[in-house]
Chain A
Amino acid sequence: MDNRTVAGILVFSIVAVFFLFSVFLIHPFGEPGPVQMDDYIITHTQNETGTNNGVTAVVFDYRGFDTLGEATILFSAVAGVLLIFRKVRH
């Protein structure tokens, strides 16, 4: 079992060094890079969607397919839990 622990420590330190070196390549906190899509969404929400909330308009109107996929995942999680405990319920 000692070989396995040594290999685990080696892999963990390599992953930690990679993460810590790539933190300094992202843009600084507070100045995002390309903002053209979000500027269009903020200025045209009240005309096209007719609502005051920017986040709800993005979740249900501009990006509705992601909400459809999430509803499918919720349904399959409930189906999986009810399938595992089938003997308990009767």
Chain B
Amino acid sequence: MTKIVKTTANILFPFTMIFGLYVIAHGHLTPGGGFQGGAIVVSGCALLLVAYGSSWVFDRIKDKRLAAFESLGAIGFITIAFLGLVFSAVFFGNFLAGSETIFGTTPATGSTLSDFNTGGVLPLMNFAVGVKVIAGLFVIVLVMAYASSIKELS
């Protein structure tokens, strides 16, 4: 594409990615969470794909590595569910909710100001689902854009 489109995409991409990661990380305090933040980051990556052309991006990012990254997010989600079975005798149990370890404190009832240390096992699940959604949707968009720009099959 032209020089103006490339420069605008270069400036807008870091802001979009930081805003998407903020929505993923604060999923237990404000509206948002894993799925919504993942969709925001993927829209920033699609902007890069349009500005630089799909062949240039496809030659630099190997799609096998991205597919392995998506499986990592799914394995993390299942591991957290099984750890709930080990520590608290229920599948998907919340074993960090009242204890004194990482995300343990309980907020006061009623309208409070936000405290990042609350939430139990929920922020870890938000990160796992966010990684899964980013990698999965980016692979789908990249492979479909590359397949519609080559002229004939071998």
Contact = CB atoms under 8 A, between A and B. Distances in A.
Interface of A: 46-53, 55-57, 59-61, 64-65, 67-68, 71, 74-75, 77-78, 81-82, 85, 87-89
Contacts of B143: 81-82, 85, 88-89
Indicate the size class of the contact surface on chain B: 35 or more
Contacts of B136: 74-75, 77-78
A57 B70 contact: no
Contact of B122 (A47, A60, A74): A60
B140 A77 contact: yes
B129 to A, nearest CB: 7
B150 A67 contact: no
A72 B87 CA distance: 25
A59 B74 contact: no
19 contacts: A50-B98, A50-B103, A50-B104, A51-B120, A52-B29, A52-B112, A53-B30, A56-B122, A60-B122, A65-B92, A67-B129, A74-B132, A77-B136, A78-B139, A82-B67, A82-B139, A82-B143, A88-B143, A88-B147
B94 A46 contact: no
A77 B108 CA distance: 42
Nearest to B108: A46
